[in-house]
Structure 1
Amino acid sequence: MTTSTRVAPDAPARPAPPARSFRRGAGRVPYLLLLPCLVVIAALLLWPLGQVVVMSLYDLDSVRQVRGQRPWPFAGLANYREILTDPFFHTVLRNTVLFAVANVVLTMVLGTLVGLLLHRLGRRMASFVGGCVLLAWATPALTGTITWKWIFDDTNGLVTWLFNALPDGLSSALFGRSDWTGYGWFNAPLSFFSILTLVIVWHSFPFIAVSVLAGLKSLPGELLEAARVDGAGPWRSFWSITFPLLRPVFGILVVLSTIWDFKVFTQQYVLAGGTQDRPTFMLSIYSYATAFSPPPKYGLGATIAVVLTAILLIVTGVYVRSLLKQEEL
């Protein structure tokens, strides 16, 4: 026996499902909106980077070869073997890593302390101090470096004048000399890297301070107030509440600082007065000097640039992966 179901004549009609083609078109809209940005990134970043990678695989030692007819003399991985087996490259890599680590630590510590100070100040005083701090960050790298180079000038610099103003006995007892006129502050590697670190930290910490301040403004005040009621001091509150909540912010700032400090070029080039001071070389200026100083070696210079990019990608990948793991936990 079969049964049949009847639909009441006044039952509302079921709406027809949307067309499959319309749903497919809607799914492509975000990619179409991102397409102009991807084209710009490819034209301004990926294409030049690809050209550098290609040049690192060829033996190019003159402008005539670079601008001449193809094919270029293919070298394969010979440039990479030459660079990685060069003892001077290992010295430059050591200088770069130590300099970057020291600058990242100092920049993060000073920027965090200034951010905490701005958070505790009143609105007017915080605006005034924050504006003064941002002047250093807003100053172009070239302008700021020239100013610092004048400050450490061996004849008319402010630092030379201050040391000459010390009593001769005190200066001789502390530093072993009483006359500082003509002293080359940028000649010894230790003093050079100390001044370069001062310049980089001075120019970089305002960004860290403002970023930390923005993160502190987003924290719930109830947690800090509860910790204060429970008797936790500023140090305990920072490490138990503030730092865990702002860990993603600190992670991004560490990544950015690492990238910036590994790529330092303008400040070192200006302070050193060019590419003659090889004991103070780092990867960026080493790549530039190899590619453009006579005799030019464009293939080796491109190889050093690729190695530097690979190091930065590895460092960034490690930080991003650690942040993602923390977010999952």
Structure 2
Amino acid sequence: MTTLTTPSRGAAARDTTPARRPRRRGSPLPYLLLLPALLVIAVLLLWPLGQVVAMSFHQLGIRQLRGDREWPWVGLGNYAEILGDPFFHTVLRNTVLFAAANVVLTMILGTLVGLLLNRLGRRMSTFVGSCVMLAWATPALTGTIVWKWLFDDTSGLVTWLFNQLPDGLSQALFGRADWSGYGWFNSPLTFFSVLTLVVVWHSFPFVAVSVLAGLKSVPAELHEAARVDGAGPWRVFWSVTFPLLRPVFGILVVLSTIWDFKVFTQQYVLAGGTQDRSTFMLSIYSYSMAFSPPPKFGLGSAIAVILTVILLVVTGLYVRMVLRQEEES
């Protein structure tokens, strides 16, 4: 006769009850690891930003910055003076239109180049991508000097090319046959056209490489299925590629907007300083107000703060849009 042995109640409980992990208190190690980066950000970003904000509430000149005199408090007087100046509204309009045009052109050109790189073979894509990135890696000052030489009114390559056009064709298209001595930077229209060319040339490689990286993460089966269904290249991009890369495009639009709003080096070099007020944008307007004699550091700081607030609003709207999309999904 065989006897069946059953496990005891305590043994069964030990077998079925999951082991509880001891609770761990929050470790300070992550915060300690972040502390050096936070200190660097505070020293290099937050402290200068706080100084600019503080200066915008005072009337400052050379003597005040030297410490010879106290800082006269004007409160919101600098902001009221700037916002009430009609020239500020002209500068703001120039900045918004310039940034909008450059963001659109940069995104279109960068996306097209990214799609092209994705269609090329590995070796050719690496070669073309490396050549494209040379424009982005070139310092803004160096690249702008080269472009200014290209548009020189006497010995520039662009002036020489326009002079090679038949006189009749050049006269019919542009209203002039001789381009020697033509000042490309004297008219606001031609100045902003050249400036747009310089900024887009320097910005589109980053967009192209970012789009290429996003395309590499899109499954090829989705594109093949869309083509089997009879979708053309535009339909495939708009219905398959763009929805999947929407977060990438959103980040690129925000970054391009920030960069194009605060363009300074290219404009300063092409204009040769701050003499031509008809081509002012917010960055160079702030610089001119702060450092042109007589210097008005308080007004210049107020313009810089206004520019920062505009960029923060643009970034905040994008973050809100992303969070809303995540909640809906």
| TM-score bucket (shorter structure) | over 0.9
For structure 2, which runs of at least 5 residues remain unmatched after alignment? 1-8
TM-score (norm 2): 0.92
Distance 1:17 1:110 in 2: 55
In structure 2, what residue type is equivalent to 1:33? Answer: L
Task: Work out whether 1:288 is the aligned partner of 2:287.
Answer: yes
Runs of 4 or more above 6 Å deviation: 14-17
Structure 1 residue 67: deviation in Å?
Answer: 2.1
Structure 1 residue 69: deviation in Å?
Answer: 5.3
In structure 2, what residue type is equivalent to 1:217? Answer: K
Match of 2:184 in 1: 185
Aligned pairs for 1:112-131 within 5 A: 112-131=111-130
In structure 2, what residue type is equivalent to 1:53? Answer: V
The farther-off stretch of 227-236 and 98-107 is 227-236
Match of 1:110 in 2: 109
Match of 1:315 in 2: 314
Structure 1 residue 16: deviation in Å?
Answer: 9.5
Residues 231-260 of structure 1 show CA distances to partners (whole Å, capped at 9, x for unaligned) of 111111111110000000000000000000
Match of 1:4 in 2: none
Aligned pairs for 1:1-329 within 5 A: 18=22, 23-26=24-27, 28-60=28-60, 62-68=61-67, 71-329=70-328
Residues 247-286 of structure 1 show CA distances to partners (whole Å, capped at 9, x for unaligned) of 0000000000000000100000000000001000000000
Structure 1 residue 173: deviation in Å?
Answer: 2.1
Change (3 A) 1:32 1:70: farther
Distance 1:236 1:16 in 2: 54
SS of alignment partner, residue 274 of structure 1: coil
CA RMSD of aligned residues (A): 2.1
In structure 2, what residue type is equivalent to 1:96? Answer: T
Distance 1:121 1:145 in 2: 30
Structure 1 residue 207: deviation in Å?
Answer: 0.3
Distance 2:118 2:136 in 1: 19
Structure 1 residue 213: deviation in Å?
Answer: 0.1
Match of 2:5 in 1: none
Residues 281-306 of structure 1 show CA distances to partners (whole Å, capped at 9, x for unaligned) of 00000000000001100000000000
Residues 85-140 of structure 1 show CA distances to partners (whole Å, capped at 9, x for unaligned) of 00000000000000000000000000000000000111111111111111111111
Distance 2:158 2:222 in 1: 46
SS of alignment partner, residue 160 of structure 2: helix
The farther-off stretch of 318-327 and 40-49 is 318-327
Structure 1 residue 176: deviation in Å?
Answer: 1.7
In structure 2, what residue type is equivalent to 1:98? Answer: L
In structure 2, what residue type is equivalent to 1:316? Answer: T
Distance 2:264 2:10 in 1: 81
Change (3 A) 1:16 1:157: closer
Structure 1 residue 8: deviation in Å?
Answer: 7.2
Residues 18-63 of structure 1 show CA distances to partners (whole Å, capped at 9, x for unaligned) of 4x7xx3352x322222111111111110000000000000011x22
Distance 1:17 1:228 in 2: 52
Change (3 A) 1:74 1:225: same
SS of alignment partner, residue 179 of structure 1: coil
For structure 1, which runs of at least 5 residues remain unmatched after alignment? 1-6
Structure 1 residue 178: deviation in Å?
Answer: 1.4
In structure 2, what residue type is equivalent to 1:51? Answer: Q
TM-score (norm 1): 0.92
Match of 2:6 in 1: none
SS of alignment partner, residue 178 of structure 1: coil
Change (3 A) 1:81 1:233: same
Q: May I ask how many residue pairs the two structures share in their alignment?
A: 319
Q: Percent identity?
A: 79
In structure 2, what residue type is equivalent to 1:120? Answer: R
Distance 1:249 1:16 in 2: 42
Distance 1:47 1:209 in 2: 35
